[in-house]
Amino acid sequence: MEDDGGEGSSFLVSIIENRAKEVGLAAFDLRSASLHLSQYIETSSLYENTKTLLHFYDPIVIIVPPNKSASNSTSAVTELVDRFYGSAKKAVLSRACFDDTKGAILIKNLAARDPSALGLDTYYKQYYLCLAAAAAVLKWTEAEKGVVVTNHSLSVTFNGTFDHMNIDATSVQNLEIIEPFHSALLGTCNKKRSLFHMLKTTKTIGGTRLLRANLLQPLKDIETINARLDCLDELMNNEQLFFALCQVLRKFPKETDRVLCHFCFKPKKVTIEVRSVDRAKKSQVLVSSVILLKTALDALPLLSKALKDAKSFLLSNIYKSVCENEKYDLIKKRIEEVIDEDVLHARVPFVACTQQCFAVKAEIDGLLDISRRSFCETSEAIHTLANNYREDFKLPNLKLTFKNRQGFHFIVPQKNIQGKLPSKFIQIVKHGNNIHCSTLELASVSSLIIWVS
């Protein structure tokens, strides 16, 4: 599944309640393919527990049943969503979609762990509301995103807040834990004054999200806290280990938590027409995902070397479960049979486009080899065209740039333009001190690059 990366939320949340003010909540993270289930009795008339969880997950979509129940009374949870969470998209699904029996079957088939280990067999009746919410959020994902979850690939947790403390949303705001209280008045530079931004020195996007989660729901499990403190002691007393880990983390993709996520989803059945339109785009995403996975696997030997002599339980457990896992070597060997060993994950659009085009080894697919030759010829023609424009129109600082949606276009510093640009240039837009533009020739050749890649 496509994802734009970044530190923003990627959670879909589904909520349902019964007449006894018991609430079931399912939070589905599209980025990490994980499902978090919670069920609790709402003791506050203001639904503080629900507000706290919604603030914690910060969902992009909130899925609820229709506002009127069978008893013709208004759902308090639905009212809460309408009143306090206008920024999130609200999706209303029929109550038939909130089916706890179907939810239990889906969890049993999709969960990466054995359902008995999750407590599903024992506590099915206890968790019926959150299972109903799970059925709804998975149904919405299938209908709106056009994908289904692959069997035995979904990370599922029940009652994720059991070992954590909850801080209500009002206190989070007043204590300036995530955002400064007056950020709207003082501007973005004031963000540094919040606790979250003061502590944010993480090396990965996943680490940033984990920091936010621990600030909003502080851990209270003594065993885990002590394990983390032991790890911290070792890092503070062993500078060599600390700096080695800092260097290694830079080698991993910043979006480490979504490396495997793309392989947890598969497209639902679609018509031949739709499949032919989306095939190129989905192939591009899949190749990009394989490159991302390869980059992470290439960095594992460095992580193994750094953690080999680690003594703390947390770090030594990472070494045993990750660095010594033979399955990763098998995956890497399988990738190297098809993907060129020199290919690395790139974030610059045209570099990434080129990497994807040349990722698969030569002579594996004849049509792909032909496309590569066309890609090289077209790319060379575009750069030749840019050089000609620089000479013909006396624009030595004319810059050629590429964006995934726009393709190639030109950027010219406004100070280098005397009067108006020649009539050959079209789509002229001013951005700051620069002029963005194109030509019919460039647009024509650029479309070939996008088609070939």
Share of the chain above pLDDT 70, in %: 87
Considering the domain boundaries, does residue 56 fall inside one? yes
**In this structure, are 347 and 386 located in the same domain?**
no
The three-class DSSP label of residue 64 is strand
- Whether 229 shows a pLDDT value over 90: the answer reads yes
- pTM more than 0.85: no
Domains in the chain, number? 4
pLDDT, tens digit, 9 for 90 and up, residues 12-24: 999 999 888 889 9
How many Å is the maximal CA-CA distance in the chain? 78
Considering the domain boundaries, does residue 227 fall inside one? no
Looking at 140, 158, 176, which one is the last position of a domain? 158
Mean pLDDT of 338-360: 83
Integer Cα distance of 178 and 172 in angstroms: 7
Share of the chain above pLDDT 90, in %: 36
**In this structure, are 32 and 110 located in the same domain?**
yes
**In this structure, are 374 and 351 located in the same domain?**
no
Considering the domain boundaries, does residue 176 fall inside one? yes
Considering the domain boundaries, does residue 95 fall inside one? yes
Looking at 328, 361, 394, which one is the last position of a domain? 361
The range of the structural domain enclosing residue 39 comes to 11-158
**In this structure, are 20 and 150 located in the same domain?**
yes
Considering the domain boundaries, does residue 4 fall inside one? no
**In this structure, are 100 and 207 located in the same domain?**
no
pLDDT, tens digit, 9 for 90 and up, residues 147-159: 889 898 888 888 7
**In this structure, are 204 and 245 located in the same domain?**
no
Mean pLDDT of 38-57: 86
**In this structure, are 117 and 187 located in the same domain?**
no
CA 370 from chain centre, in angstroms, equals 34
Helix 239-251 and helix 222-237, axial crossing angle in degrees, nearest 10:
100
Considering the domain boundaries, does residue 268 fall inside one? yes
Name which residue leads in pLDDT, 124 or 28.
28
| Lowest-pLDDT range of 20-34, 119-133, 400-414 | 119-133
Looking at 112, 143, 158, which one is the last position of a domain? 158
**In this structure, are 33 and 172 located in the same domain?**
no
- CATH code, domain with 19: 3.30.420.110
Integer Cα distance of 95 and 15 in angstroms: 11
pLDDT, tens digit, 9 for 90 and up, residues 109-119: 998 876 555 66
**In this structure, are 47 and 17 located in the same domain?**
yes
Considering the domain boundaries, does residue 342 fall inside one? yes
Q: Going by DSSP bridges, is the β-strand pair 11-17/89-92 parallel, antiparallel, or unpaired?
A: unpaired
**In this structure, are 60 and 198 located in the same domain?**
no
Considering the domain boundaries, does residue 225 fall inside one? no
**In this structure, are 308 and 246 located in the same domain?**
yes
Integer Cα distance of 5 and 221 in angstroms: 31
**In this structure, are 444 and 354 located in the same domain?**
no
